[in-house]
């Protein structure tokens, strides 16, 4: 958490990205929670936000199937 706190905020750069993005967050994430994910997704021009119920900061470990589905959806969008 200290490393994240020391990093500069890069949200201002997100609108300049020109690629599809997947923003995946657990609804119980206490480190970078849903409010941060919503802000990131809103700042990205082509983002899909997935909020996973009953998942925390380790959502790929806690909810691997929904995370994989979100990433598969991103790959479909990238291939277009």
Q: What was the pLDDT predicted at 4?
A: 62
Q: What was the pLDDT predicted at 5?
A: 65
Q: What was the pLDDT predicted at 8?
A: 83
pLDDT, tens only, 18-54? 999 999 999 999 988 999 999 999 999 999 999 999 9
pLDDT, tens only, 7-20? 788 889 999 999 99
The whole model's pTM is what?
0.85
Alpha helix (H) residue ranges in 1-80: 2-6, 34-43, 59-62, 64-79
CA–CA distances in Å: residue 57 to residues 16, 44, 76, 78: 26, 21, 25, 25
Beta bridge partners of 23: 49
In angstroms, the CA 69 to CA 74 distance is 9
Q: What was the pLDDT predicted at 1?
A: 57
Residue 78 tokens read as: 């990238």
């Amino acid at each position: 958490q200290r490393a994240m706190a020391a990093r500069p905020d890069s949200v201002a750069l997100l609108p300049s990205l020109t690629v599809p993005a997947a923003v995946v967050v657990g609804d119980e994430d206490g480190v970078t929670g849903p409010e941060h994910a919503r802000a990131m997704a809103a700042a990205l021009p082509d983002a899909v936000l997935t909020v996973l119920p009953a998942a925390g900061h380790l959502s790929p470990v806690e909810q691997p199937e929904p995370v994989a589905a979100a990433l598969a959806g991103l790959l479909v969008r990238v291939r277009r």
